[in-house]
Amino acid sequence: ELLEKLDFAKMGLSDALLENLSQLNYTKPTHIQTKIIPLFLEGKDIVACSKTGSGKTAAYMIPLINKLKCHSGVIGTRALILIPSRELALQTSKCIRELIRGTDLKYAIVIGGHDYEGQFDSLASNPDILIATPGRVMEILQETKFTLTKVEHLVIDEADALFEMGFAPQIREILKRVSTKRQTMLLSATIPAELSQF
């Protein structure tokens, strides 16, 4: 019975996702995926202690993709994933690319440092999911018509790193701009005092 509960196929995921997981050879959910996926699907807010290598990215990406289902014609991104670094952005984009296949969901990645114009252009596709550093999100909000009012799912990944890098003010500002009805998930390797308070 326990093994059955651990299986992706028993989690009520879409055929497209199950196909992608099978292509990736993800035969069993990792520990954190077993814990997070059902809670995320239920719409719960989640705080998770996790490290890179635990399968944490797919742990939220799988239920997120399952919930969003298909591209929305309504203007406004429905999921915002805040990340601290370019390195994590590359990992996250690999994960989303692999899991999104077979759906028409769109995503955009907006991070500091390079291809400013191209990144802004990608917002014109009305991405369902936006992966971004908090600083860049604030720039987009200030410089374009982009808003966060349609965000239903907010993921704060590597929150300890985000706070160490001094992004707390931007994160608080972003929280004010997303609906209070959103689902929120915070992932962090450690929960230092400042983060615990937050």
Give residue 3's identity as a one-letter amino acid code: L
Candidate list 35, 39, 49, 54; residue touching ligand AMP; CB under 6 A: 54
* 60 forms part of the interface with ligand AMP (CB under 6 A): no
Which residues fall within 8 angstroms of residue 25, CB to CB, at 6 or more apart?
A: none
**CA–CA distance, 129 with 51 (Å, rounded to integer):** 22
Binding mask 113-132 for ligand AMP (x = CB under 6 A): --------------------
Q: Which stretch binds ligand AMP (CB under 6 A): 24-32, 41-49, 139-147, 154-162?
A: 24-32
* 85 forms part of the interface with ligand AMP (CB under 6 A): no
Check: CB of residue 18 under 8 Å from CB of residue 28: no
Strand partners, 129: 79, 107
* 96 forms part of the interface with ligand AMP (CB under 6 A): no
**CA–CA distance, 131 with 118 (Å, rounded to integer):** 14
CB of 150 to ligand AMP, least distance (A): 26
Site residues (CB under 6 A) for ligand AMP? 26, 28-30, 33, 52-58, 91
